[in-house]
Amino acid sequence: MRSRAETDDRLAQDAHRPRVIHTGQALVDLVIEVADLPARGQNLMADSVAEYAGGSVTVLLAAARLGAECLHAGAIGTGPYGDLIREALDADGIAASAPPVTTQDTGVCVVLIEPSAERTFVTTLGAEREITVESLASADVQPGDLVCVTGYSLAVAQTREPLLAWLRTLPEDAVVVLDPGAAFAELPADVRDTMLARTDVWTGNAEEATDLLAARSVSVEASKAGASKAGASKAGASKAEASAREIVGQARALSPLLRAGAVTIVRDGAAGCAVHAHGESTYVPGFPQTPVDTNGAGDTHTGALLAGIADGATWVDACRRANAAAAIKVTRRGPTTAPTADEVEEFLRGR
């Protein structure tokens, strides 16, 4: 049994534990499995179809299932799609701080998934774009909170302008986490630079890192990171080592573009990720699986990563748990199938 002093210390710690707050789009993913993408103007019969809460919801579900206190600060519509979003958040104890948008329903992202688990997206715009400085302020961000921003919010003026204005009001010690998405590198330079100057954590994939570094004309210094494993083929080990060197170099090259002291994470699917924190770059190997659905794997990685940081883990340890969570997720259909903390622990015990 804890002493009274220990209990008071624990309560004080919990009272200041960072929350994971997402400002991005909560969408409904209409997931359609197909044998192949149809040729332009042609028809194709789907193998299956299902609706899931997706977008920012996937990040929050992953973080909540690994123990983080989570909050959705974006806009949610009124109608069947908005109801689906709220039900998914409620099921994992995640609150929505902003009032519902009563004038329209939440939008849809059509996701075409091929047998290889590759996916193609078509996204509509709906109530999730109806944010204001006041609606975002309902999150009441505190120092230390982990505030998630997606590059897709910056791609549309309707969400970009209130988001950037609101970010300027945050406490200096609030931790802004940028998931750039494919849209970020193509944004106007002034928008990119404004966002990067307030970014404390970059977490994106290798292609997104490549695109931004090219847009900023930043060269990547070769890294000596290695990834060979006992028993691996020479060709396989060489490929893994090349991937490790590349993403470690990218993580290091991204860091000076962000706010002073920023942490950068670059993912490379099953190969794992690289993290640059406190002046050190580390390659964190992944856990290759046979995927059935990669939709939501990156968002699951982000949510699991931030749950670890909120719990006081080191960046390297949090990345390893995030790699495990994403590895489990790709073996399950749907973006809302992030594992629980117990499932991640069991997975890691076997490795």
pLDDT tens digit sequence for 80-92 = 999 999 999 999 9
CA dihedral 79, 82, 83, 88 (to 10 degrees): 170
User: Which residues, including other chains, have CB under 8 Å from residue 142's CB and lie 6 or more apart?
Assistant: 19, 171, 174
102 pLDDT more than 90: yes
In 3D space, the residue among 22, 23, 30 whose CA is nearest the CA of residue 123 turns out to be: 30
339 pLDDT more than 90: yes
pLDDT at 107: 96
Find the mean pLDDT for residues 173-188. Answer: 96
Q: What is the DSSP string of 126-176?
A: -GGG---HHHHHTT---TT-EEEEEHHHHSSHHHHHHHHHHHTTS-TT-EE
Q: CA-CA distance, 5 to 336, in Å (whole number)?
A: 39
User: Which residues, including other chains, have CB under 8 Å from residue 337's CB and lie 6 or more apart?
Assistant: 296, 329
User: Which residues, including other chains, have CB under 8 Å from residue 275's CB and lie 6 or more apart?
Assistant: 251, 263, 264, 265, 281, 282, 284, 315, 316, 319
Return the residue matching tokens 């996937």: 58
User: Which residues, including other chains, have CB under 8 Å from residue 178's CB and lie 6 or more apart?
Assistant: 149, 150, 151, 184, 195, 196, 199, 201, 202, 203, 204
Q: CA-CA distance, 150 to 208, in Å (whole number)?
A: 12
Q: Give the global pTM.
A: 0.88
226 pLDDT more than 50: no
152 pLDDT more than 70: yes
Q: Are 126 and 102 in contact (CB under 8 A)?
A: no
Phi and psi angles of residue 123, each rounded to the nearest 5 degrees, phi first: -115, 135
pLDDT at 47: 93
148 pLDDT more than 50: yes
- 256-313 pLDDT, tens digit per residue, is 999 999 999 999 999 999 999 999 999 999 999 999 888 899 999 999 999 999 999 9
43 pLDDT more than 90: yes
10 pLDDT more than 90: no
Instruction: Find the angle CA(27)-CA(143)-CA(149) to the nearest 5 degrees.
Output: 25
Burial class (CB in 10 A: 0-12, 13-18, 19+), 313: middle
- 298-330 pLDDT, tens digit per residue, is 999 999 999 999 999 999 999 999 999 999 999
Helix (H) or strand (E) holding 27: strand 26-33
Q: Are 31 and 295 in contact (CB under 8 A)?
A: yes
Q: Are 267 and 273 in contact (CB under 8 A)?
A: yes
pLDDT at 223: 57
158 pLDDT more than 60: yes
Q: CA-CA distance, 218 to 160, in Å (whole number)?
A: 25
Q: What is the mean pLDDT of the chain?
A: 90
Q: CA-CA distance, 272 to 285, in Å (whole number)?
A: 5
Q: Are 279 and 262 in contact (CB under 8 A)?
A: no
Phi and psi angles of residue 315, each rounded to the nearest 5 degrees, phi first: -65, -40
- Range of lowest pLDDT (223-227, 241-245, 263-267): 223-227
Return the residue matching tokens 């991937």: 243
Top mean pLDDT of 31-45, 109-123, 221-235, 255-269 is at: 255-269
343 pLDDT more than 60: yes
1 pLDDT more than 60: no
Assigned token pair, 145: 């909170």
pLDDT at 225: 52
Q: CA-CA distance, 221 to 319, in Å (whole number)?
A: 22
Q: Are 108 and 50 in contact (CB under 8 A)?
A: no
In 3D space, the residue among 159, 155, 175, 144 whose CA is nearest the CA of residue 74 turns out to be: 159
Q: CA-CA distance, 258 to 245, in Å (whole number)?
A: 21
